Structure 1
Amino acid sequence: MNTPAATVPPARRLTTSAMIASIAEEGQRTTKAPFGHALNRLAEERPDVVGLSADLAKYTDMHIFRDAHPERFFQMGMAEQAMLGAAAGLAEVGLTPFASTYSVFATRRAYDFLCLDIAEPGLNVNVVGALPGLTTGYGPSHQATEDLAILRGMPGLTIVDPADSVDIEQAVPALAAHPGPTYTRLLRGAVPTVLDEYDYRFRLGRAAGLRGGRDVLFISTGLMTVRALSAAKELERDHIDVAVLHVPTIKPFDSDTVVREAAKGRLVVTLENHTLVGGLAESVASSLAYAQTTARIVPIGLPDAFLAAGALPTLHDRYGLSVAAIKERVRREL
């Protein structure tokens, strides 16, 4: 006999938290809303900084800035094209806009406005896209699995994929100081705090070696750098020595460092929260090809497909982004 809906326990019915779950591992240190707090600190020092949102301030951590500086915040509604056009106008009169929405809407919906209103005149507009790659289980309408591929070809656009709260907090003032347009893949909410353990400093356009290793080289970006570090530590138990090179800037790409590290004879594994088409793996491969350097590359990333909806941890296992899946892949390839 069917159970009446009224008798189903609420805990079983309200399961949406798994759809946009924290990307932090169990027991990992986190920082709440690092982008919002970093932007607020920057705004206290720079009166030219303004914020815009396409009706998603709460979901891009822009609400921290909004509440502290309401006179410098512009709620544009569900209209990303209008938001980017307005941001361009604000930049034209000497202000420094940070415009936030979901990555899918900034890239798929508003590409032409980003290209011709912002990138072509080289304006300092900082587009901040939440839910990059597979950071939601809501399905293809919200999963920006191809945003890097869409934007890498845009002339003059700087693209940043931060790994954790430390990366985000250090990137915000660097983006504001950069003279041209930027796009950042935002990790929001309770964001892992990891890179402070590695004497890390964000440098726009530069990759950073986080740990050495003689057997395998992980080249990673975004949230996958945190997974790479965890997998590297756990692979030590199997006597597999893994180095980790973090690439926080996808464009301009630090080809020199990547080629130098990849040429040391280790298995090279790229890790990205993005389709394998047009992202980090192809950037690494083309850098090696242009430098006439050979290395065996194993790409870990998302398939060239529209992904399923579902609970986020389950999807990360299914598509190979979990720490367990990374370790298993490395063991198979060695």
Structure 2
Amino acid sequence: MLLLVLFIVHSIISRLTLSSLPIRSAQVKIYHQHSYIASHIINQIGFGVYAEDLHSCIYSCQNNDFCRTAVFDSQLLKCHLYEECNTQGQMVFDPYQTLISFLVCKGEPGNAGFSSPLNESIPMQIVMSNAVWIRNLTPASNSWWPFFVNDEIYVPLDNVIYVYETNTYSFVRSIIVPVTSPISYLRGDSQGILMYTQQYDPKLYIYSFITNQLTTIDISFTSDFFCYSSSFIVMISPSSDAADVYLRTSINNSATFIYQINGWSSIHQCNIINDEQIITTMNTGGLQTTMLSKTNYNSTVTTLSLNTTYLPAGAALTIDAA
């Protein structure tokens, strides 16, 4: 049975030591005897929190800026939180669970992003009417997310990168990547360098599309992810929680292995900032960091102090020196 209930939910200030906290309000829909299957695991926030009743679960979701959907389990007294609207995933029958749908944005899910006192959410109709079609990506193609290089957008598709400029999104050129099997992971920079790995191939490929020079480096494992800076290339292995560090050389645009860093916890993706500090995401949510050296590794892996409920598990990482 579907029951629609309108709650004006207030934070229970008596439970808090800080009486000056602002009171929030939210509209929610309650679906009794329903659970929820998220459209993607990355939209699950953590692994659930304790909730003594339905209202406690509502409060948990309400006080998490990214929560849009929650499920209260009356048997386990557990509250599961999700970043996505319940219309994105699948509602399923469960006699012991209650689904809570937060109407975070006006007209949800017809809006893009969250609304706040300072910023109104943008209706999806406006987003789509202003969107610019660039290129079709077919399900059968070997494609992954585009990336920016200066004022250009690189759209990888199979072994070709289609380049568009960012002002009018007009096509600029295409770059053919020399491959022998499907690309596993690829990154590029403003120096005309593409680095990539191929599926089931224990090599790193460094390709200069300016000089048409291709260099290969033997790696100790078939890696899905890596990151690099002007001095370092770091290959990470999510399966063994290890990171191999290579020192880049100017000779033939190559690199030499210098050491392996262990002690990671569920390492997933990485970025290098200031040519000295590596930051990685964790499959369980959160960030880790350590300092790199051009000689011997003399640092330790540190978990950054964060509220990991705001970081989905297995998040992609983009970061700069700031």
Answer whether TM exceeds 0.5 for this pair: no
Name which one, 1 or 2, has greater alpha-carbon Rg: 2
Query: Highest relative contact order (Cα 8 Å, sep 6+), 1 or 2?
Result: 1
**TM-score (normalised: structure 1):** 0.24
Which is richer in helix?
Answer: 1
TM-score (norm 2): 0.24
